[in-house]
């Protein structure tokens, strides 16, 4: 059986959190956080190949009211740029509260306060919540 994984993205202007499913697509794991810079797409493509990714889920930041947020427009531009460079299915999902849920999970699972302050930890865990 060929591995086919799903990957999730928690988009940020500075960092992009990445989470991945296990080969059976049952569990989501925080994978890494990449810098949102000119090297992003090459690093991202390596992850897609290495993990046999067949679909990408991108967290869409909506306002409390359900309206598209200002950041949402940037996320849509990011998704359009991915679509031009990749042939994979890309799905947008509501990411409201994903960072709050991720913060709670980190508090429960990471005993060191110093380690909890690592912002990349929040980004990749938020991606796992989205997934």
Tell me the average pLDDT across 79-107.
88
Place of tokens 């990471």: 110
pLDDT in tens, 13-61: 999 999 999 999 899 999 999 999 999 999 999 999 999 999 999 999 8
Extract the tokens encoding 83: 């679509």
Is the torsion defined by CA of 122, 128, 129, 131 positive or negative? positive
Q: What is the pTM of this model?
A: 0.85
Number of domains the chain contains: 1
Query: What is the CATH classification number for the domain harbouring 11?
Result: 3.30.420.140
Domain hosting residue 39, numbered range? 5-130
**How far apart are the C-alpha atoms of 28 and 50, rounded to whole Å?**
16
Identify the pLDDT of residue 36.
97
Other CB atoms within 10 Å distance of the CB of residue 113: 8
């Amino acid at each position: 059986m060929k591995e086919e994984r799903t990957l999730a993205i928690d988009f940020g202007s500075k960092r992009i959190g990445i989470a991945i499913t296990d080969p059976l697509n049952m569990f989501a794991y925080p994978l890494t956080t990449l810098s949102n810079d000119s090297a992003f797409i090459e690093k991202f493509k390596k992850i897609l190949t290495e993990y046999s990714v067949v679909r990408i889920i991108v967290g869409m930041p909506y306002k409390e009211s359900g309206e598209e947020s200002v950041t949402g427009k940037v996320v849509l531009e990011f998704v359009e740029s991915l679509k031009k460079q990749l042939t994979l299915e890309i799905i947008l999902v509501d990411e409201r509260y994903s960072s709050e849920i991720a913060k709670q999970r980190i508090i429960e699972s990471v005993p060191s306060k110093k380690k909890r302050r690592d912002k990349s930890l929040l980004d990749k865990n938020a991606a796992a919540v989205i997934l």
